[in-house]
Structures are given as structure tokens and as C-alpha cells.
């Protein structure tokens, strides 16, 4: 049986040590990079936003350099850039899950 007190002490020591480090931030793609990612897949803005669950309005703003994506969107864009098929497949599976999407 594990020693709960010592396990907790180890976990707290790890959190204390790691908590001092800044979390990694994904580098935001610039407007041209975002457009190149989309166009490289042969998708329109409408198709790209629908396929990957991104706001069409936001995508247009990003591509026109009128806004910068938030970290969550940056992560999705970088995942699409590296592996569009896998990213799309993961999003498809998530959409099929009854606990992922809001229904109201």
C-alpha cells in the first residue's frame, strides 16, 4: 500500500519546484503563416474554420493582421500545421463525444 503522506509530500515538492518555471507558450503564427497553413490544405476560410472548429470572423481577422490568436487557437493552428489529418481526426472524435459539446 502506498504511503499517502510521503506521496503527497513528493507531489507538493514537485509542484513547488515546477511552479517557479514559466509555462511554455506557443509561438503565434503571423497573418501570412496562418493563410499559408489554410491555403496549403486547399481550403477556403469557410471550410478551414468549419473543419477545425475555429471562428470564421477570427480567422479572417488573423489573416488580415487585425487580431492575434489566443494561446488555445495558436496551439490548434500549430497542430494543424504539423499534422492536419491527425488534428482533424481528434476534433472529429471529440465532436462525437456526448460530453464534449454544449447542447443548449
Which residue segment(s) compose the domain that 66 sits in?
A: 31-96
**Is 45 inside a domain boundary?**
yes
Residue 58 lies in a domain: yes
9 to 1, 12, 13: CA distances (angstroms): 16, 5, 6
Is 18 inside any structural domain?
no
Whether 13 maps to a domain, the answer reads no
pLDDT digits (tens, 9 = 90+) for 21-74: 666 788 999 999 999 999 999 999 999 999 999 999 999 999 999 999 999 999
The verdict on residue 26 lying in a domain is no
C-alpha cell at 95: 465532436
In this prediction, residue 1 carries a pLDDT of: 44
Any idea what the CATH number is for the domain that residue 83 is in?
1.10.260.40
Is residue 70 included in any domain, yes or no?
A: yes
Number of domains in the chain: 1
Q: Is residue 89 part of a domain?
A: yes
Examine residue 23 and state whether it is found in any structural domain, yes or no. Answer: no
Write out the DSSP string of 40-100: HTT--HHHHHHHHT--HHHHHHHHTTS----HHHHHHHHHHHH-HHHHHHHHHHHHH-TTT
Amino acid at each position: 500500500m502506498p504511503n499517502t503522506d510521503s506521496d503527497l509530500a513528493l507531489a507538493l515538492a514537485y509542484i513547488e519546484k515546477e511552479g517557479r518555471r514559466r509555462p511554455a507558450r506557443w509561438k503565434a503564427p503571423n497573418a501570412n503563416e496562418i493563410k499559408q497553413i489554410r491555403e496549403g490544405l486547399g481550403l477556403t476560410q469557410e471550410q478551414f474554420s468549419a473543419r477545425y472548429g475555429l471562428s470564421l470572423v477570427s480567422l479572417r481577422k488573423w489573416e488580415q493582421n487585425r487580431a492575434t490568436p489566443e494561446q488555445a487557437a495558436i496551439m490548434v493552428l500549430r497542430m494543424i500545421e504539423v499534422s492536419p489529418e491527425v488534428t482533424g481526426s481528434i476534433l472529429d472524435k471529440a465532436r462525437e463525444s456526448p460530453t464534449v459539446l454544449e447542447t443548449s
